[in-house]
């Protein structure tokens, strides 16, 4: 029998009615002749509420204990979805990551999947059951509970789809697909019918909140089609797949905004071989994610100013690490700017279309938005701007590339 993996996010499970709706969708897939594996997130805003509670108890809780706490949200969800399926007259079983055998490394809050055993799932599917798996969580080699970061139930689903050779991985959300920009910021954004793994991976990495980046990586590596769609309707959503020729006909397929960023500037770094390596080795040792890096050489090549962007949540830890480098005379001074955002334009068509940068910079000029930093790659142009200018910048760039819904639908973009 063909197999389908279905993932339901927290908003799709917010209350008994929505839980029954998710159960009915899984049952329908089973009655259509599929083995069905469900991956579920914590209900509604459960994870946020647990995080808030942890802050009331401790301003700086140990990450191990946070993992222990946060995984309880998914455990509630899997049990309730299994109950709903049983209430509808079908067999189901809920499994935590430990019961399934989903092994990760030991990095709490940011664990990565190492191996997934399919033995338990195959056994339960052969018995005619719908299998419900707790997303977002794993267990390391020492038996410690881990989590893979916010939104990582997508990653659990895509990884299971790869391991189980699923026909498709369906990601059910409260929206009906992936849009050319965040509709809450750009009301004229339009739904994308199909998009390549590479483009959506870049969109996820630069602020689009629809898909977890590592989920897309699994889909691309193992050629698993991923269908992002609404849990409320049967309308076709957005299909994430390998690139097709018609996708390249569109220069830019989406624009994104990354908020809550900080720029860490290390001034007076000796411009010698290995200086940057020592700095970023120390940053990496503390598991701080680094985005854009800029280096400026001055004083006849003797010194450099090196800056990098990171999540605002990591800014204080980054400051402490870099101030340690100052004490060791690796760096002259450290500055942190937490008031920035990044706006990006993404598309496979950038490989074959000229004038993309010019169009983007002109749009920002028209919006009277100053650019503080520019970075480019084969598929992306990004600009660091002031945080208060981010939403306006996004709207102007979206319109400049003809992505507004009023410009007409396009199946590839």
pLDDT of residue 47: 94
Question: Are the C-beta atoms of residues 157 and 77 closer than 8 Å to each other?
Answer: no
390: part of which helix (H) or strand (E)? helix 390-400
Domain boundary among 174, 202, 225: 174
* Residue 385 predicted with pLDDT over 80: yes
Going from the C-alpha of 227 to that of each of 130, 193, 250, the distances in angstroms are: 20, 10, 21
- For the chain, how far is it from start to end, CA to CA, in angstroms? 34
Q: What residues make up the domain containing 311?
A: 261-339
Model confidence at 304, in pLDDT bands (50, 70, 90)? very high
Q: Which residue has the higher pLDDT, 291 or 163?
A: 163
Q: Are residues 31 and 114 in the same domain?
A: yes
**What is the SS3 assignment for 15-84?**
CHHHHHHHHHHHHHHHHCCCEEEEEECCCCCHHHHHHHHHHHHCCCCCHHHHHHHHHHHHHHHHHHHHHH
Give the CATH number of the domain where residue 391 resides. 3.30.2130.10
Q: Are residues 13 and 157 in the same domain?
A: yes
Q: Are residues 298 and 366 in the same domain?
A: no
Q: Are residues 278 and 385 in the same domain?
A: no
| 208-249 pLDDT per residue, tens | 777 888 899 999 999 999 999 999 999 999 999 998 877 877
Domain count of the fold of the chain: 3
Assigned domain for 238 exists: no
pLDDT of residue 361: 96
**Size of the chain in residues:** 413
Query: In terms of pTM, does the model score above 0.85?
Result: no
Q: Are residues 291 and 149 in the same domain?
A: no
Q: Are residues 129 and 278 in the same domain?
A: no
Give the CATH number of the domain where residue 289 resides. 3.30.70.260
| 72-99 pLDDT per residue, tens | 999 999 999 999 999 999 999 999 999 9
Give the CATH number of the domain where residue 129 resides. 3.40.1160.10
Q: Are residues 272 and 333 in the same domain?
A: yes
Domain boundary among 339, 367, 395: 339
* Residue 146 predicted with pLDDT over 90: yes
Domain boundary among 149, 174, 199: 174
* Residue 323 predicted with pLDDT over 80: yes
| 344-383 pLDDT per residue, tens | 999 988 877 888 999 999 999 999 999 998 988 889 999 9
* Residue 409 predicted with pLDDT over 70: no
Model confidence at 407, in pLDDT bands (50, 70, 90)? low
Q: Are residues 155 and 9 in the same domain?
A: yes
Q: Are residues 55 and 152 in the same domain?
A: yes
DSSP-H helix ranges across 132-208: 153-163, 197-205
Assigned domain for 97 exists: yes
């Amino acid at each position: 029998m063909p197999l389908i993996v279905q993932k339901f996010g927290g908003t799709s499970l917010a209350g008994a009615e929505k839980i029954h709706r998710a159960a009915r969708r899984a049952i329908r897939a089973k009655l259509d002749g599929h083995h069905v594996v469900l991956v579920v997130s914590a209900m509604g805003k459960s994870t946020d509420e647990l995080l808030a509670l942890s802050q009331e108890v401790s301003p700086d809780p140990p990450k191990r204990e946070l993992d222990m706490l946060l995984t309880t949200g998914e455990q509630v969800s899997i049990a309730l979805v299994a109950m709903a399926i049983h209430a509808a007259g079908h067999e189901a079983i809920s499994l935590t990551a430990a019961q399934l055998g989903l092994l990760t490394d030991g990095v709490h809050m940011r664990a990565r999947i190492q191996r997934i055993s399919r033995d338990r799932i195959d056994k339960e599917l052969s018995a005619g059951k719908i299998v419900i798996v707790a997303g977002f969580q794993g267990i390391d080699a020492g038996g410690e509970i881990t989590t893979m970061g916010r939104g990582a139930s997508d990653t659990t689903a895509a990884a299971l789809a790869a391991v189980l050779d699923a026909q498709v991985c369906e990601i059910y959300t409260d929206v009906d697909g992936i849009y050319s920009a965040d509709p809450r910021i750009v009301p004229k954004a339009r739904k994308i019918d199909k998009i390549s793994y590479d483009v959506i991976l870049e969109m996820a990495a630069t602020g689009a909140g629809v898909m977890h980046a590592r989920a897309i990586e699994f889909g691309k590596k193992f050629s698993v089609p991923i269908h992002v769609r609404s849990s409320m309707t049967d309308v076709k959503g957005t299909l994430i797949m390998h690139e097709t020729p018609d996708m390249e006909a569109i220069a830019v397929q989406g624009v994104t905004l990354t908020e809550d960023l900080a720029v860490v500037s290390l001034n007076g770094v000796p411009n010698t071989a290995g200086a940057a390596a020592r700095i970023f080795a120390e940053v990496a040792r503390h598991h701080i994610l680094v985005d854009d890096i800029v280096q400026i050489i001055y004083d006849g090549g003797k010194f450099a100013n090196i800056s990098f962007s990171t999540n605002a949540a990591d800014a204080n830890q980054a400051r402490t690490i870099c101030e340690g480098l100052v004490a060791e005379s690796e760096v002259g001074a450290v500055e942190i700017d937490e008031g920035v955002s990044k706006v990006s334009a993404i598309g496979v068509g950038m490989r074959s279309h000229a004038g993309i940068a010019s169009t983007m910079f002109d749009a920002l000029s028209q919006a009277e938005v100053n650019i503080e930093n520019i970075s480019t790659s084969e598929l992306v142009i990004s600009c660091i701007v002031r945080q208060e200018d981010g939403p306006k910048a996004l709207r102007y760039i979206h319109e400049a590339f003809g992505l507004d819904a009023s410009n007409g639908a396009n199946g590839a973009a």
